[in-house]
Amino acid sequence: MNISTRSLDTSGPLLAVPIPSTVSADIFAEVARLGLGDHFPFVVQLTRDLFGEDFEISVEQDPEIGNWFDVVFTVQTRGTMDEILDKNTLWHRRLPHATTDAGGAFCLSIAERS
């Protein structure tokens, strides 16, 4: 897979972010089909930075909007409710506003680590 460079925001410096080998070619192909491939390496790194390596990525169709798909980052974390909410808020603030006409968006799903 290619290494893409994306910035934290449009005014910041570019970061080289490799796509992890654990991401299947099928997932990456779906992300690209949705027009989100340029932002995907950054979102992977953002998720890693905030939640560590223990997360899964899936592409799921919205049950209410038939032609809309979400790239879902499912993470497990520990901490107080305030700490978890702070991470959630930070993830969304740093997330590029990447939605496309193809119908796709990045989503975060947080589960408490047991």
Among 21, 82, 75, 11, CA closest to 46:
75
| pLDDT attached to residue 11 | 37
**3-class state of residue 72 by DSSP:** strand
| pLDDT attached to residue 6 | 32
Q: What is the mean pLDDT of each run of 10 residues along the chain (114 residues)?
A: 32 47 82 87 90 90 86 92 93 76 80 76
Between CA 110 and CA 19 the distance in angstroms is 21
Between CA 84 and CA 97 the distance in angstroms is 22
Between CA 67 and CA 38 the distance in angstroms is 21
* 104 within 8 A of 40, measured Cβ to Cβ: no
